[in-house]
Chain A
């Protein structure tokens, strides 16, 4: 399993039946493949109970997801305008949002929407999602393409939101972002404590049981 699929399967385990979930564009969209039963997907362009991509040749041209891909709607779903959609998001009616990131830091800050002078796609709905959703899960590869760490003491890029990140899931680690700092919760299959420490530029709090586990290995 490649690292992106590994991350997606681990994210799916965090999603509980009966919750409303918004999945961001890119890596988080992969989570739909592993979604447990009973999740209601919200799409910020105005849909609840979003279904899988439309079968080839049967797409309704007027139903798309937040990435513009033609999708379906499940029974019990509904459509609404953008003000209602962001009322649902900002008003705390979305339980979990899963987003990608360029950088995350140990103060629970997120940078995900621009690299000055290089890439300025815009924030889209990310700032509202991160501010409004009850739980913010960051799903991303542990390091940037050039190998540099993305989990930092302090974000260097323009922020998407301050002090909002709850959980970080990468192909190497599951890290809880708390008021006390970043707590390493799990070492992912194929990784090690040493690997995580070498590829993370933040202070990690490592619980005793994980240290013991690592010594045993």
Chain B
């Protein structure tokens, strides 16, 4: 069962140098309270895996402008000019990954797979240093799994069993990141204290979630 706690307590176990997946697409589905708590407690040298770095003062972008990230894996950094600046100055080592490949590499990490074969990136710089494997005469790139120490999620509703339900486009990378990290912390808008989600409407099974933090608006 997921423990209900507050943001500051939940992120205390995240030490300098940790590898952290953070859900969200253009900050929709990013746990803003958990990001704020990480900044507040001074954690630095983070290795962050996320879709994009949001905007300078929103989402993962806040970790960038506060110089807390040393390595970044993402598909897009264009909406936050500070990420590009820190990349060019050498402050952050950025690895850009096609979005579908990023999703599949995280999924592979969480699903116990040794990697995925994808046609995406063939003939581009993405294929550098990667084996090309032919299956039935069609070439694919071998892309390796990605895992993390922590995953920080944002869902709309959680129940006492830790089951999560998302709303709208906040789902994005959250469900697959929930599978791929050792410790999963979910920030949620509502925690059902007296009941449970309809089992048919659960997007992330509660066994994957270690901590629940109610979003403070």
Q: A residues within 8 Å of B by Cβ?
A: 43-47, 60-64, 66-68, 73, 79-83, 85-86, 89-90, 120-128, 131-132, 158-163
Contact = CB atoms under 8 A, between A and B. Distances in A.
21 contacts: A45-B172, A46-B172, A62-B170, A64-B168, A68-B27, A68-B55, A68-B79, A82-B171, A83-B103, A83-B106, A85-B172, A90-B100, A121-B78, A121-B79, A122-B52, A123-B99, A123-B126, A124-B78, A127-B121, A127-B124, A159-B123
Given A121-B78, A122-B96, A82 B173 contact: yes
Interface stretch (B4-12, B34-42, B69-77): B69-77
A55 B63 CA distance: 31
A90 B118 CA distance: 9
Given A90-B120, A122-B96, A127-B98, A61 B176 contact: no
B150 to A, nearest CB: 19
Interface residues of B, number: 48
B175 interface: yes
A120 B107 CA distance: 26
A158 B124 contact: yes
A62 B118 contact: no
The 7 closest A-B pairs by CB, nearest first: A121-B78, A86-B100, A68-B26, A162-B123, A128-B100, A62-B168, A63-B168
Contacts of A131: 119-122
B189 to A, nearest CB: 9
Contacts of B19: none
Given A122-B75, A126-B98, A162-B124, 18 more contacts: A64-B26, A66-B26, A67-B26, A68-B25, A79-B167, A81-B176, A82-B51, A86-B103, A89-B100, A120-B84, A120-B87, A122-B74, A122-B78, A123-B126, A127-B121, A160-B124, A161-B122, A161-B123
A81 B173 contact: yes
B187 interface: no
Given A44-B99, A68-B27, A86 B104 contact: yes
B125 interface: yes
A122 B76 contact: yes
**Candidate in A66, A81, A120, A125 with the most chain B CB atoms within 10 angstroms:** A81
A60 B98 contact: no
B107 to A, nearest CB: 5
**Candidate in A60, A131, A132 with the most chain B CB atoms within 10 angstroms:** A131
Name the prevailing secondary structure of the B interface residues.
mixed
Contacts of B103: 81-83, 85-86
B29 to A, nearest CB: 7
Interface in B10-44: 25-29
A162 B122 contact: yes
Contacts of A127: 98, 100-101, 120-121, 124, 126
**Candidate in B79, B106, B171 with the most chain A CB atoms within 10 angstroms:** B171
B169 interface: yes
Contacts of A162: 122-124
Given A86-B104, A125-B100, A63 B123 contact: no
Contacts of B102: 82
Contact of B25 (A46, A60, A123, A132): A46
Nearest to A123: B98
A82 B172 contact: yes
Contact of A46 (B55, B107, B169): B169
